[in-house]
């Protein structure tokens, strides 16, 4: 509970406040909002949403997950009058560039969008995303893990239905570890020591590949207890040399300085896939969705990989964080808001949707799934029969509270390579690189009318 303090308190008070506010806001038309879990037919707003799904409607949905298409098909089967036009945006930042352009143009804006949690605040701030607090969505709070719910809760309002979660874990190649006699690291000090030993034994082996990825940096800083981005509305601070960030910069900086990480293989490029397949990269610290990603990119490595808790800064601790994860959100410009909300809710509450999401390696965000013994005790043959989900469930619960993404995260990520990325080229220390990133982030924020200081 302690780990959660600020955030969870905010979440829970928020839910109560929002629930009440929602009730009062629409009190003119109905009064059941305060008890959203009303039986038989649900609250008036839920009934309206259900009714909207029975009318001929066309929804445009922008997403990227490979399992989306079959899920959309299942939805259309259940609600034959609603036609969902799914546009596959794939995994790159161009989705947000395209969305920005559509918003700027005021036309071509989809009804429903799958957002990375990290990108959501930016679009909420530009008032492009519908506030779902008044639509009864708050009643879903207990459906999702605290972490997942906290990521769609921005300054007290709900801006999406959580889709997946990305609890951090250490994926390691056991075959490589055994070959070079490495112990599975439980602390960052051990991780660095393992990396050194591995590279000494075989100079073409690396502990991991990282070519300077802002999403990795964010989650590692988060796991080290850093809270570099603190915003309330339009003012805030950016401090990429707070104690947590510096802890990571010091551990990771050693790896970079000694050339123990492979820095010429950005995620998903052929170089990265090759290295993962042939065991050049012995480990990968990433979100729970890595389970699906590894099987997708390296099917031939079945049996090589295992999962463990993320290395800790204090021996015996259990600090974790998130990488990635996404929500399904409704856009303000939608002319079919109710049906869009119905779709977004269905997308991660319907049993069939949930199971399809997992079949394709997607990581769940629903409490009912994460606490179910069937899920927890499912041995994965790709991971040598290890019950990896137990590690992710623990990581989900151990995720440190208080993390915030920037309200202009997309831009910040786009200039990571210009600043902090230089540390991955060996040109500056990681701490100095992060400081340079901070400067770019602050300058941009103030230029755009935010009130940002260090």
Partner 1 sequence: MAVSPGLGLTTPPHTRPRKARRSWTGWGFLGPFVVIFLFTLVAPVIYAIYLSLYRDKLIGGNSFVGLSNYITAIHDPVFHTALFHVLLLLFVQVPIMMALSTMAALALDSSRLYVASLFRMSLFVPYAVPSVVAALMWGFMYGSTFGLVANLNSAIHIHLPNPLASNYVLAALGNITTWEFVGFNMIILYSALQSVPQDRYEAAAIDGATKFQVIRAIKVPAMRRALVVALVFALIGSFQLFAEPNVLKSLAPNTIGSAFTPNMYAYNLSFNGQEFNYAAAIAIAMGIITMVGAYALQVGGMRGDN
Subset of residues 238 to 277 that bind partner 1, contact rule: CB under 8 A: 262-266, 269-271, 274-275
Contact code string over 429-448 relative to partner 1, x by CB under 8 A: ---------------x--xx
How far apart, in whole angstroms, are the C-alpha atoms of residue 373 and residue 396? 16
Candidate list 347, 422, 435, 442; residue touching partner 1; CB under 8 A: 422
Cα–Cα distance measured from residue 101 to residue 405, given in angstroms and rounded to the nearest whole number: 22
Distance CA 439, CA 266 (A): 24
Q: Are strands 326-330 and 153-154 parallel, antiparallel or unpaired?
A: unpaired
- CB of residue 27 vs partner 1: minimum separation in angstroms? 32
Distance, CA of 25 to CA of 20 (rounded, Å): 8
Q: Name which position in 9, 80, 418, 454 contacts partner 1 (CB under 8 A).
A: 418
Contact region for partner 1 (CB under 8 A) — 148-156, 244-252, 295-303, 420-428? 420-428
Closest by CA position to 68, among listed 12, 29, 110: 110
Shortest Å, Cβ 263 to partner 1: 8
Size of the site for partner 1 (CB under 8 A): 41
Q: Are 360 and 65 in contact (CB under 8 A)?
A: yes
Binding of partner 1 by 203 (CB under 8 A): no
Contact region with partner 1 (CB under 8 A), list: 26-34, 53-61, 309-317, 419-427: 419-427
Beta bridge partners of 162: 327
Q: Which is nearer to partner 1, 94 or 454 (CB)?
A: 94
Residue 143, Cβ neighbours under 10 Å: how many?
Answer: 17
Other C-beta atoms closer than 10 Å to the C-beta of 322 total 26
Whether 168 and 312 have beta carbons less than 8 Å apart is answered as: no
Assess 450 for contact with partner 1 (CB under 8 A).
Answer: yes
For partner 1, the closer of residues 77 and 104 by Cβ is: 104
Identify which of residues 62 and 262 has a Cβ nearer to partner 1 in the complex: 262
Interaction between residue 425 and partner 1 (CB under 8 A)? yes
Question: Look-up: residue for tokens 């259940």?
Answer: 78
> Is 208 near partner 1 (CB under 8 A)?
no
Closer Cβ to partner 1, 4 or 231, answer by number: 231
Grouping H, G, I as helix, E, B as strand and the rest as coil, residue 389 is helix
Rank residues 136 and 324 by Cβ distance to partner 1 and give the closer one. Answer: 324
Nearer to partner 1, 61 or 96 (CB): 96
Could you tell me if 20 and 34 are in contact, meaning their C-beta atoms sit under 8 angstroms apart?
yes
DSSP character for 229? E
Question: CB 235 → partner 1: shortest distance, Å?
Answer: 9
CA–CA separation, 247 vs 223, rounded Å? Answer: 10
Q: Which of 14, 223, 239, 280 binds partner 1 (CB under 8 A)?
A: 280
Question: Which residues in 99-128 contact partner 1 (CB under 8 A)?
Answer: 100-101, 104, 125-126
By the 8 A CB rule, do 416 and 212 touch? yes
Whether 262 and 275 have beta carbons less than 8 Å apart is answered as: yes
Place of tokens 């707070």: 242
The only residue of 62, 96, 231, 383 in contact with partner 1, by rule CB under 8 A: 96
Site residues, partner 1 (CB under 8 A): 93-94, 96-97, 100-101, 104, 125-126, 211-212, 234, 262-266, 269-271, 274-275, 280, 408, 410-411, 413-415, 417-418, 421-422, 424-425, 427, 444, 447-450
């Amino acid at each position: 509970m302690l780990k959660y303090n600020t955030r969870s308190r905010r979440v829970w008070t928020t839910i109560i406040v929002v629930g009440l506010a929602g009730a009062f806001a629409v009190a003119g038309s109905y009064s059941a909002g305060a008890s959203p879990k009303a039986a038989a037919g649900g609250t008036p707003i839920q009934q309206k949403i259900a009714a909207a799904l029975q009318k001929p409607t066309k929804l445009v949905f922008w997403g990227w997950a490979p399992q989306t298409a079959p899920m959309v098909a299942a939805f259309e089967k259940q609600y034959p009058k609603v036609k969902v036009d799914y546009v596959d945006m794939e995994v790159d930042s161009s989705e947000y560039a395209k969305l920005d352009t559509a918003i700027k143009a005021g036309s071509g804006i989809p009804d429903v969008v799958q957002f990375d949690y990290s990108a959501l605040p930016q679009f909420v701030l530009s008032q492009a995303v519908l506030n779902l607090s008044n639509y009864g969505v708050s009643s879903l709070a207990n459906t999702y893990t605290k972490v997942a719910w906290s990521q769609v809760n921005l300054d007290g309002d709900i801006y999406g239905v959580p889709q997946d979660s990305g609890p951090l874990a250490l994926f390691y190649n056991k075959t490589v570890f055994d070959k070079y006699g490495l112990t599975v690291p439980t602390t960052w000090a051990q991780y660095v020591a393992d990396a050194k030993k591995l590279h000494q034994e075989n100079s073409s082996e690396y502990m991991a590949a990282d070519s300077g990825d802002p999403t990795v940096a964010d989650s590692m800083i988060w796991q080290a207890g850093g809270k570099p981005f603190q915003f309330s509305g339009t003012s805030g601070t950016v401090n990429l040399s707070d104690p947590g960030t510096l802890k990571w910069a010091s551990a990771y900086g050693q790896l970079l300085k000694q050339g123990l990480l492979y820095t010429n293989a950005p995620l998903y490029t052929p170089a990265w896939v090759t290295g993962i397949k042939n065991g050049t990269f012995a480990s990968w610290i990433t979100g729970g969705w890595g389970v699906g990603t590894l099987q997708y990119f390296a099917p031939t490595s079945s049996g090589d990989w295992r999962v463990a808790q993320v290395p800790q800064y204090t021996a015996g601790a259990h600090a974790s964080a998130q990488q990635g994860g996404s929500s399904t959100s409704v856009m303000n410009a939608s002319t079919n808001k109710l049906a869009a909300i119905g779709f977004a809710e269905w997308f991660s509450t319907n049993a069939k949707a949930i199971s399809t999401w997992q079949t394709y390696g997607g990581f769940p965000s629903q409490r009912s799934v994460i606490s179910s013994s069937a899920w927890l005790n499912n041995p994965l043959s790709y991971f040598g029969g290890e019950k990896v989900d137990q590690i992710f469930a623990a990581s989900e619960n151990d995720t440190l509270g208080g993390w915030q993404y920037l309200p202009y995260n997309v831009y910040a990520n786009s200039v990571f390579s210009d600043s902090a990325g230089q540390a991955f080229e060996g040109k500056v220390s990681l701490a100095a690189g992060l400081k340079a990133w901070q400067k770019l982030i602050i300058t941009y924020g103030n230029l755009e009318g935010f009130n940002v200081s260090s």
